[in-house]
Structure 1
Amino acid sequence: MYKKILIANRGEIALRVIRACKEMGIETVAVFSEGDRGSQYLELADQAFCIGGVKSNESYLKFDRIISAAEVGEAEAIHPGYGFLAENAEFNQVCRDSDFDFIGPTPEAMEMLGDKNRARDLARKADVPVVPGSAGLVTDTDQAVKDAKDIGYPILIKATAGGGGKGMRIAETEADLKHAIEQAAQEAEAAFGNAGVYLEKFIDKPRHIEVQVLADHHGNVVHLWERDCSTQRRHQKLIEESPSSTLPEDARAAICEAAVRMVKTANYHNAGTVEFIVDKDNNFYFIEVNARIQVEHPVSEMVTGIDLIQQQIRVAAGEKLAFTQDDIPCNGAAIECRINAENPDKNFMPSPGELKQIYIPGGLGVRWDSHVHQGYRVPPHYDSMIGKLIVHQPTREKAIACMVRALDELRIQGIHTTAGFLKDVLLTDAFADGTIDTKWVEREMLS
């Protein structure tokens, strides 16, 4: 087992990794930008090094500075967290070339799965359903028009290197298609440096279901059941839960088995998430694989009792999984709300500034994952998420009631947050019935 790990990240996920390492008796090295200087969570690491200015491209995206910190701190492995360089295959390889274990999949698997078009080909090979779409990237708009006729409108244009809704457009008719392709390609080039796009059949009112997987280097692959992440705004997840309240047992078994097949076919190791969309008839289709730990991993931890960060570390160190599929329970229901420093009344405008007061809820089954504290100044330079409120109860009905109560107790003064908006969503009949789709929030709450 490792003696010391560097965490190439900040905020909530850096603190989460520090906590996991402490419980395992592993020392930690934290890195921070000038914008995070003085953050209290840094005091919990055994060492902390400033790696640059407040902007991500001056600090958290700098390969050389992270590697230098790992060398000075005498770390043996690097945990990338999520975001920043977590799915950067080049950084993954640089870590390995510099004699540091990368706590995640191989660069080859990461690169293959990070390209959505190649990942779709892999899904087909693994006999995992994919949304009907073009055979490859769009290289000729006239051919794209022919493909779209075969697929059927509406058509979704997607960036092959995309994420977070960037490089995506919907074409309702043939007249819309060429312009939508051009717009998606331009946005993809600007966001990812890759203008490649492909076509998919647009699934009306889909649910977003994903499966958490773990795979070691000894051929063992397991799933930790599914998460429903359908409550979204502009492709950004707001509320996640496990298990899904809408999947029949046969569909649940099929989607989890498909995720395991996908991971085995990709020769993937460590933690990962296989994401699907599900239509009104419970047909499911592969979207992508996230080759890292997810923001919403706590709901899977709550229903299974398995610490995913510790498992990531054990797998990277070469250990076998200490459990089989039959050993993994799914007990009760867990819900996570992402608390963002945003103002819902002003189109979710970011709300950086000082937390003048914070009261954290508690009680049986309540968990708060966050690095913020009274006096903390939320910087404007990074993602606006300041914490995750998670509840775990014997039933979904009780979990919803617990989360509503916990959101009521959460008090944050000095900045705006999304807590009140999330409570409003939880109190709707649609959430209670489990009938929310990925566009429901925008259609019913924000229109």
Structure 2
Amino acid sequence: MFRKILIANRGEIACRVIRTARALGYRTVAVYSDADREAEHVRQADEAVPLGGSAPAQSYLSIERLLEAARRSGAEAVHPGYGFLSENAEFAEACAAAGLIFIGPPPEAIRLMGNKAAAKRRMIEANVPCVPGYQGAAQDDATLIAEAQRIGFPLMVKAAAGGGGRGMRLVEDPADLVAALAAARSEATTAFGSSELILERAILRPRHVEIQVFADRHGNVIHLGERDCSIQRRHQKVIEEAPSPAVTPALRERMGEVAVAAARAIGYVGAGTLEFLLAEDGSFYFMEMNTRLQVEHPVTEEITGQDLVAWQLQVAAGEPLPLAQHEIRWQGWAIEARLYAEDPYHGFLPQAGRLIAWDPPAGVRVEHGLRAGQEIPPFYDPMIAKLVAHGRTREEARRRLLHALEDCVALGVNTNRSFLAACLDHPEFAAGRTSTAFIDTHFPPQELTPPPPPPVSVALAAVLAFRRMEEGVAPSLREWRSTAPVPVPLKLARGDQRHELTLTVCAPDRYRAVSREGEWTLEILEAQDGRVVFMADGVRRQARYVFDETRVFLQQGGGEWCFEDVTLVSTRASEHEGEARVTAPMNGAVVAVFVEAGQQVRRGERLLVLEAMKMEHEITAPRDGRILRLTVAPGKQVKQRELLIELEPAS
């Protein structure tokens, strides 16, 4: 029996658990790091306990601090959410030793399935189909190279102790294997504290299909169907749906039976997910088991009408599963898109900073822990929200989700919102022809560029910048001229692009903008609370905007752009500064520095490594030159656009 639950997590999943726990009459306790002091999950919980620190190791990964928080708050149970310690057997054991109910599977099951090598060996014993590979104890390069040659190329190098695409490398050329092993070990050690690797034959262009299982302490084990999670970047899921377009009722029954048998074989209890690779010929292979609630669980909830967090709480309280296998019904289709704070047009780099404007769309399910003005910290996973649409058919769900993404307002920090919309709008996705190669095939890095703003949007940004500039002028002098209206020159920067316009005030709230792209007359009908309604080309339109010092973030017609007013900045000085300064592309921590002041470097040479949101990113030299100044050292936290290295001026 328990009445108060400590949620050992943060962000949208903490808010998600709080919502169901409150509906069932439970009290909730949030925990928070220094970086999350003002976070939404802290505000929503009945009580909250500070953990201190900001880095995960000092806060959400500290078993000692979490147990102390439970003791101080009087919580009797702990819900781990997903990520952090949700699949940590030591944490589950520590909770039990402290007299707390761990809302999750037994520690033995977590430990067994938490290591890919051990899990694969156990699944092979249980006659679960597995991808051919190597999962042995010997981890020296010579053994791994020999095993790779036996398996054949292409192959996957994977961290045995992890997930989420970290410590994972696809190797197509045998010459790249040694470097891939070193990189995977380094990333795995940083992310999971273990350098153990496994090798698997690469299944080319498979679907990533997973089966949701649930078990109670009374011997009941069932499945709730499949989810298709094939749309991925860097081996991390981006869009998920249920059911899968490729799974027939017969295949669903077969995969479900295998998943249930696997859960029974390890004495599983609670929510779990068996992840499979589904080949084009209908064969499927076990990849791993996630011994927790999945990020994408809402799509299963939408098509079954069940609350999986409620099921977790009932099982933890010793109750039997609320439904038997034959009582599970699937209705309609659900698709989920993960909103990440990242820049998809620059290698999906994680982003951190202030979310100046946040306005989730209506008509769909939005899981988040956000509010306008909130800081997105650089210490945690970059996923900030999930949008879920349900429909009678797949096309209806797709259309609703696409509409919602176009209406979702998240300004101030780069997100993948427009990229998600482009994926959903792609003809191959609309036709259901997806695989784990979807993004690489249809959005290759060399072709993945941000959509340019329509000229009318540039003109609108100029008008908004001009109106803001005039806010500081006395009302009686605004737009006053001693002669005819005078065109005002304006320069807006968008990354490396420059937009030069002249703006003429034709009448109150009526402007004529002229640039090389053409001429537009804009009439501002409404402009307040970050929303502007305007007339252009005989069409009444609307947009969302927000200012941050000299920058204006504009979202209009499904696209979004950031313009900086550089009217008073010398073009030559700006270009020179861009050549000489190497700045941080995102908030993060400096992991390693490979150069020193006075050193000659060549374009593309590795300068340093930044770690942000659990991923490592190399910073390279933008051109040949000599390093004049180095402003960082390993361990230093840096902010986006902060100077890292200064090069000598170009000759």
Q: TM-score range by the shorter chain?
A: over 0.9
**SS, match of residue 167 in structure 1:** coil
> One-letter code of the match for 2:271?
A
What displacement does 1:124 show?
Answer: 1.5
**SS, match of residue 208 in structure 1:** strand
Greater alpha carbon shift after TM alignment, 215-224 vs 350-359: 350-359
Give the Cα–Cα distance (whole angstroms) in 1 for the partners of residues 174 and 39 of structure 2.
Answer: 53
> One-letter code of the match for 2:47?
Q
Q: Which runs of 5+ in 2 are unaligned?
A: 446-651
Which residue of the partner structure matches residue 573 of structure 2? Answer: none
1:115 is aligned to 2:115: yes
Which residue of the partner structure matches residue 388 of structure 1? Answer: 386
Which residue of the partner structure matches residue 373 of structure 1? Answer: 371
Give the Cα–Cα distance (whole angstroms) in 2 for the partners of residues 148 and 303 of structure 1.
Answer: 41
Could you report, residue by residue, the CA deviation over 1:234-283 in whole angstroms, capped at 9, with x for unpaired residues?
A: 01110000000112332222111111111010111010111011111121
Could you report, residue by residue, the CA deviation over 1:122-153 in whole angstroms, capped at 9, with x for unpaired residues?
A: 21222210001136244465555554454332
Give the Cα–Cα distance (whole angstroms) in 1 for the partners of residues 424 and 350 of structure 2.
Answer: 22
Greater alpha carbon shift after TM alignment, 427-436 vs 97-106: 427-436
**SS, match of residue 162 in structure 1:** coil
Could you report, residue by residue, the CA deviation over 1:308-338 in whole angstroms, capped at 9, with x for unpaired residues?
A: 1111111111111121011111110000011
What displacement does 1:203 show?
Answer: 0.7
**SS, match of residue 321 in structure 1:** coil
Q: Answer yes or no: is the 8 Å Cα contact 2:311–2:322 preserved in 1.
A: no
Provide the TM-score with structure 2 as the length reference. 0.66
Give the Cα–Cα distance (whole angstroms) in 2 for the partners of residues 83 and 142 of structure 1.
Answer: 33
What displacement does 1:55 show?
Answer: 1.8
What displacement does 1:344 show?
Answer: 2.1
Give the Cα–Cα distance (whole angstroms) in 2 for the partners of residues 75 and 193 of structure 1.
Answer: 29
Which residue of the partner structure matches residue 152 of structure 1? Answer: 152
Greater alpha carbon shift after TM alignment, 141-150 vs 253-262: 141-150
Which residue of the partner structure matches residue 293 of structure 2? Answer: 293
- CA pair 71-140 structure 1, distance change in 2 beyond 3 A: closer
Q: Answer yes or no: is the 8 Å Cα contact 1:137–1:197 preserved in 2.
A: no
Which residue of the partner structure matches residue 237 of structure 1? Answer: 237
Could you report, residue by residue, the CA deviation over 1:384-419 in whole angstroms, capped at 9, with x for unpaired residues?
A: 111110011110011111111111111122222111
Give the Cα–Cα distance (whole angstroms) in 1 for the partners of residues 246 and 315 of structure 2.
Answer: 32
% identical aligned pairs: 46
Give the Cα–Cα distance (whole angstroms) in 2 for the partners of residues 137 and 128 of structure 1.
Answer: 21
Which residue of the partner structure matches residue 45 of structure 1? Answer: 45
What displacement does 1:43 show?
Answer: 2.7
Which residue of the partner structure matches residue 228 of structure 2? Answer: 228
Provide the TM-score with structure 1 as the length reference. 0.95
What displacement does 1:190 show?
Answer: 4.0
- CA pair 17-438 structure 1, distance change in 2 beyond 3 A: same
1:85 is aligned to 2:91: no
Residue from 416, 425, 439 that aligns with 2:423: 425
Q: Answer yes or no: is the 8 Å Cα contact 1:156–1:168 preserved in 2.
A: yes
Which residue of the partner structure matches residue 397 of structure 1? Answer: 395
**SS, match of residue 160 in structure 2:** strand
Which residue of the partner structure matches residue 268 of structure 1? Answer: 268
Q: Answer yes or no: is the 8 Å Cα contact 1:138–1:199 preserved in 2.
A: no
Q: Answer yes or no: is the 8 Å Cα contact 2:30–2:41 preserved in 1.
A: no
Greater alpha carbon shift after TM alignment, 34-43 vs 366-375: 34-43
Which residue of the partner structure matches residue 284 of structure 1? Answer: 284
> One-letter code of the match for 2:136?
G
Which residue of the partner structure matches residue 352 of structure 1? Answer: 352
- CA pair 359-194 structure 1, distance change in 2 beyond 3 A: closer
> One-letter code of the match for 1:225?
G
> One-letter code of the match for 2:11?
G
Q: Answer yes or no: is the 8 Å Cα contact 1:138–1:197 preserved in 2.
A: no
- CA pair 9-146 structure 1, distance change in 2 beyond 3 A: closer
Which residue of the partner structure matches residue 443 of structure 1? Answer: 441
> One-letter code of the match for 2:391?
Q
Spell out the pairing of 1:192-231 with structure 2 (5 A cutoff).
Answer: 192-231=192-231
Give the Cα–Cα distance (whole angstroms) in 2 for the partners of residues 415 and 244 of structure 1.
Answer: 32
Which residue of the partner structure matches residue 72 of structure 1? Answer: 72
> One-letter code of the match for 1:85?
L
Q: Answer yes or no: is the 8 Å Cα contact 1:14–1:81 preserved in 2.
A: yes
Give the Cα–Cα distance (whole angstroms) in 1 for the partners of residues 43 and 202 of structure 2.
Answer: 48
Could you report, residue by residue, the CA deviation over 1:166-214 in whole angstroms, capped at 9, with x for unpaired residues?
A: 3333343555445544543444334333222222111111110011111
Could you report, residue by residue, the CA deviation over 1:2-22 in whole angstroms, capped at 9, with x for unpaired residues?
A: 211101111111111111111
Q: Answer yes or no: is the 8 Å Cα contact 1:228–1:242 preserved in 2.
A: yes
**SS, match of residue 263 in structure 1:** helix
> One-letter code of the match for 2:399?
A
Could you report, residue by residue, the CA deviation over 1:215-250 in whole angstroms, capped at 9, with x for unpaired residues?
A: 001100111100000000001110000000112332
- CA pair 58-188 structure 1, distance change in 2 beyond 3 A: closer
- CA pair 350-158 structure 1, distance change in 2 beyond 3 A: closer
Greater alpha carbon shift after TM alignment, 7-16 vs 133-142: 133-142
Could you report, residue by residue, the CA deviation over 1:357-403 in whole angstroms, capped at 9, with x for unpaired residues?
A: 2222112xx10111111222222221111111001111001111111
Q: Answer yes or no: is the 8 Å Cα contact 1:238–1:338 preserved in 2.
A: yes
- CA pair 189-408 structure 1, distance change in 2 beyond 3 A: closer
Give the Cα–Cα distance (whole angstroms) in 2 for the partners of residues 41 and 195 of structure 1.
Answer: 33
> One-letter code of the match for 1:439?
A
Greater alpha carbon shift after TM alignment, 319-328 vs 169-178: 169-178
Flag the structure with higher strand content: 2
Which residue of the partner structure matches residue 628 of structure 2? Answer: none
Residues paired across the two proteins, number: 445
Which residue of the partner structure matches residue 129 of structure 1? Answer: 129
Could you report, residue by residue, the CA deviation over 1:418-444 in whole angstroms, capped at 9, with x for unpaired residues?
A: 111100001111111222211221232
Q: Answer yes or no: is the 8 Å Cα contact 2:120–2:135 preserved in 1.
A: no
- CA pair 206-21 structure 1, distance change in 2 beyond 3 A: same
> One-letter code of the match for 1:428?
H
- CA pair 37-184 structure 1, distance change in 2 beyond 3 A: closer
Q: Which runs of 5+ in 1 are unaligned?
A: none
Q: Answer yes or no: is the 8 Å Cα contact 2:118–2:135 preserved in 1.
A: no
- CA pair 193-425 structure 1, distance change in 2 beyond 3 A: same
**SS, match of residue 302 in structure 1:** helix
Spell out the pairing of 1:263-342 with structure 2 (5 A cutoff).
Answer: 263-342=263-342
Give the Cα–Cα distance (whole angstroms) in 2 for the partners of residues 174 and 46 of structure 1.
Answer: 55
1:410 is aligned to 2:413: no
Greater alpha carbon shift after TM alignment, 167-176 vs 414-423: 167-176
> One-letter code of the match for 1:387?
A
Give the Cα–Cα distance (whole angstroms) in 2 for the partners of residues 347 and 262 of structure 1.
Answer: 37
Q: Answer yes or no: is the 8 Å Cα contact 2:10–2:41 preserved in 1.
A: no
Compare CA radii of gyration and give the structure with the larger one. Answer: 2
Give the Cα–Cα distance (whole angstroms) in 1 for the partners of residues 404 and 139 of structure 2.
Answer: 51
1:184 is aligned to 2:184: yes
Which residue of the partner structure matches residue 472 of structure 2? Answer: none
**SS, match of residue 329 in structure 2:** coil
> One-letter code of the match for 1:375?
G
- CA pair 177-43 structure 1, distance change in 2 beyond 3 A: closer
**SS, match of residue 346 in structure 1:** coil
Give the Cα–Cα distance (whole angstroms) in 2 for the partners of residues 130 and 140 of structure 1.
Answer: 23
**SS, match of residue 161 in structure 2:** strand
